[in-house]
Structure 1
Amino acid sequence: MKRPVTLFTGQWADLPFETMLKKAKAFGYDGVELGCWGDHMEIDKADQAYCDAKRKVLKKHQLKLFTISTHLVGQAVCDRPDQRHKAILPDYIWGDGDPEGVRQRAAEEIIQTGRAAKRLGIDTVVGFTGSSIWHLLYSFPAVSEEMIAEGYEDFRKRWKPILDEYQKLGVKYALEVHPTEIAFDIETAKRALDAVDYHPAFGFNYDPSHLGYQGVDYVKFIYEFSDRIFHVHMKDVTWNDVPGTSGVFGGHLPFGDNRRFWNFRSVGRGRIDFERIIRALNDIGYTGPLSVEWEDSGMDREMGAMESCEFCKRIDFSPSGQAFDSVMKND
C-alpha cells in the first residue's frame, strides 16, 4: 500500500485553517501536517474540545492528520534566545525575554504540544530542538571538546524530561535534522541519540534537502537510523557544481538569491534523488506519510504544492512481496 501524501501547513500559516484545508484537498493531498502557528494549531487553546473541533473540520474536508509540528517553539528550548526568536515565538513564551525563562517556557510548551497530539489521536510531533553550540560550528577561536560536550549535556538536561513525558503519553518527538539544531548531519545525529540514551520517544523527521547541499549522504541517513525515522518531509534543493561568490553558509544572502551556493526547490525540480529515497524507505519498512514541505522562493506556491503532490504520488511505490524471478523456479 502506497504511503499517504500530506502537506505541511507551516508555510501557509497566513491562511485561515479551513481555507488551507480546502486548498490542500483541491491540490490532491490525502492529509496535512499542521504547523503550530497561525490558527492551524494553537497549543495554548488545545483542550479536548478544541482538538475535537479540529478533527471534525478535517473530517469534513476528507483529510487525515498524522502529525503536528512545533519548529518555532522547539528552536527556543536549547538556543540562546534573542530578537530573532521574539519574532517567531508566541508572546506568552517570549514573556520578558529573559533567556532562561524563554527556554523553560518553551520546554513546557513542547510538553503541552505532546498532550495536544494525544488529544488529536496522533502519536508524532515534529520539530526542532535548538542548540547552545551551533555558534561554535567553525572552530576558530579554537573550540574544545569540553565545550561541545557541554552543549550535548545541555540538550540532554533540557530534552530528557520532555521525552519522558512523551513516553508516558505514547507520543514520539521527531527532530528535523537541520543546521542550527543539535543534530544537523549523520555524526551529530548519532551524538544526539547518545546524549539522551537512545530515548524511545526521540527520533528524526527525515528531510533530505538539509543534508544534500552539505555533502551528507542523505540515503545513508535512512539506513543509519532505520528505527528512528518517525516522519518524512519531501523537500528538494539545488546546489552548484562550479565555484560561485558564496559558499555553503550562504554569504548572508536571502533564500532565493541566485548568488547563493544552494536554494530550496519544489519537489522534483532540484537535485535530490527521490527514487533512491523511496527504495530506502521501503527497505526499512517506513509506512508513514510523505509530507511535502514546500519552499521555493522562485515559484508560485499553489502551482508548486499541486505539482509536488502529483510528483510524490507518482514516485512512491509499494515494495515487492516476492522476488521477480520466483516464478521461474521449480519446486
Structure 2
Amino acid sequence: MQTIKGPSLHLAQFSDDVFPFNSLEAIAGWAAENGFRALQIPAWDKRLFDVNLAAESQQYCDEITDMLAQHGLVISELTTHIFGQLMAVHPAYDALCDSFAPPHLHGKPEARTAWAKQQLLAAVSASSRLGLTEMGTFSGSLAWPYVFPFPQRPAGLVETAFDELARRWLPILDACEEQGVNLCYEIHPGEDLHDGISFEMFLQRTGHHPRCKILFDPSHFVLQQLNYLDFLDIYRDHIGMFHVKDAEFNPTGRQGMYGGYQSWADRAGRFRSTGDGQVDFRAIFSRLTQNGYAGWAALEWECCLKNKDDGAREGAAFIRDHIIPVTDKIFDDFAAAPVSQSQIDRLLGITTTEAEHHG
C-alpha cells in the first residue's frame, strides 16, 4: 500500500482571461495559497501551457518546473481531453467539436483529427520531458449516438466503431510506450469508453496495450448508477489517475438519468462540489489505498451551485482530510510474541511424529 498524493488541482475549469487565472504563474500562486500541492495542466490551454514548445524544449519544461517549485508545487499530470475528443467525432457532433480546433480546420474532419493526433503526440513528449508518468484524455466517440438500442442497431455497427477507435489510438499508445507514459482514458458519458464493459472492448482491440489505463472520476458513475467501488476492485490494475469530483442523483416521477434535456441545475443527476453530493469518498480513498493506487488525487470542480473559489478552497481541505497516511505497522503488533515452530505445532495439536511425517 502507498499513501495517495494530493491535493492536486485540475486547471481546466479555473483558467480564465482575468487575473489570477490568466497565466500559469499567477494561478500557481493562487492554488498554493488555497492549499494545493500540485497542478494538473490542460495541454490545450495556451494561456497556461505551450504543448508544442514543451515537446521540443527541455529548457521550457525546466523553467515551468522551477517556477512551480517556487510556489511549493509540482505538475501532477497533463490532460489532453480536448485533443482526445477530436480523435473520434461522430458527424452529428462535427459543428460542436469544430470549436476545439483552430479555425482553419473547421469543416475539415479528417484534417482536424490529424491535428489532434499530432497534439497528443506532442503532449506525450512533453509529459516525458516533465518527468510525468500519467496523462489523462478522452477516447472520443463514434458510437455514442447509438448508445440506446432503438432504432435497433445494425449487426456489426458497435464492433466496427471500436475497431476503428482502437486503430486510431494505437499509434498514440505506442508512442506512450516509447516515452514511458500511461494514457489514462476518463470513463465518461458521451465517450465511447463510458463504463467498464466499453473499456474492456477497447482494451481487447488494442491487444491489452500496457499503456492503456483509466482516469477514475466517481461523479460519472453516480450519474450512470454504476457501482464505483466494485469498479475500483475490478480495474485496480488499470487505474492511473483519479479525479475528486462529487455528484448527486435524485430521480423523480418526471425525470431520471437522461435528464429531460434540462440544464445542469435542473437535472436529476448533476455535479456538485466535493462534500455536497452523494459520492462516498471515504470508501473510495480507502479502496484506492488498499488497492495500492500510487497516484494523485486531483480536484476537478464542476458545480452547478457553488462558486469556484469556495469550491477550490474547500476541495483542497477535503482531499487532505480524506488521504490515508499508510501505516508501516499492524495495529495489534503490541500484543505479538515470538513463537517457535514447535510451539505452533502444539497450538495446532500436531504431535512430533506427525510433524516429522509431514516434513
Same fold (TM over 0.5): yes
3-state secondary structure, aligned to 2:261: coil
2:37 is the counterpart of 1:25:
no
Tell me the amino acid that sits aligned with residue 317 of structure 1. I
Of 96, 100, 106, the residue aligned with 1:84 is: 96
Tell me the amino acid that sits aligned with residue 287 of structure 1. A
Of 279, 297, 306, the residue aligned with 1:272 is: 279
3-state secondary structure, aligned to 1:112: helix
Q: CA RMSD in A?
A: 1.6
Tell me the amino acid that sits aligned with residue 211 of structure 2. A
Of 57, 68, 77, the residue aligned with 1:58 is: 68
Is the 2:101–2:112 Cα contact (8 Å) retained in structure 1? Answer: no
TM-score under structure 1 length normalisation: 0.94
Q: Which has the larger radius of gyration?
A: 2
Alignment of 1:320-331 (within 5 A): 320-331=327-338
Distance 1:99 1:145 in 2: 26
Poorly superposed stretches of 4+, deviation over 3 Å:
319-323
Give the aligned partner of residue 239 of structure 1: 249
Distance 2:71 2:268 in 1: 40
Give the aligned partner of residue 45 of structure 1: 53
Give the aligned partner of residue 313 of structure 1: 320
Of 223, 226, 231, the residue aligned with 1:213 is: 223
Percent identity over the alignment? Answer: 27
TM-score under structure 2 length normalisation: 0.87
Distance 1:50 1:244 in 2: 55
Alignment of 1:48-127 (within 5 A): 48=57, 49-80=59-90, 82-91=94-103, 95-127=105-137
Is the 1:129–1:182 Cα contact (8 Å) retained in structure 2? Answer: yes
2:144 is the counterpart of 1:137:
no
Q: CA deviation at 1:237?
A: 0.2
Give the aligned partner of residue 7 of structure 1: 9
Query: 1:120-145, CA deviations, whole angstroms, 9 ceiling, x for partnerless residues?
Result: 12121101010110111011110134
2:239 is the counterpart of 1:229:
yes
Give the aligned partner of residue 344 of structure 2: none
Is the 2:301–2:308 Cα contact (8 Å) retained in structure 1? Answer: yes
Q: CA deviation at 1:38?
A: 4.0
Q: CA deviation at 1:230?
A: 0.7
In structure 2, the gaps of 5 or more residues are 339-359
3-state secondary structure, aligned to 1:290: strand
Distance 2:236 2:215 in 1: 12
Is the 1:13–1:35 Cα contact (8 Å) retained in structure 2? Answer: no
Tell me the amino acid that sits aligned with residue 24 of structure 1. A
Is the 2:143–2:161 Cα contact (8 Å) retained in structure 1? Answer: yes
3-state secondary structure, aligned to 1:163: helix
Query: 1:23-51, CA deviations, whole angstroms, 9 ceiling, x for partnerless residues?
Result: 11011001110012142222233231332
Distance 1:144 1:318 in 2: 51
Tell me the amino acid that sits aligned with residue 95 of structure 2. Q
Is the 1:43–1:109 Cα contact (8 Å) retained in structure 2? Answer: yes
Distance 2:87 2:14 in 1: 24
Tell me the amino acid that sits aligned with residue 231 of structure 2. F
Distance 1:180 1:44 in 2: 28
1:189 and 1:303, CA in 2 relative to 1: closer, same or farther beyond 3 A?
same
Q: CA deviation at 1:327?
A: 2.9
Distance 1:42 1:290 in 2: 24
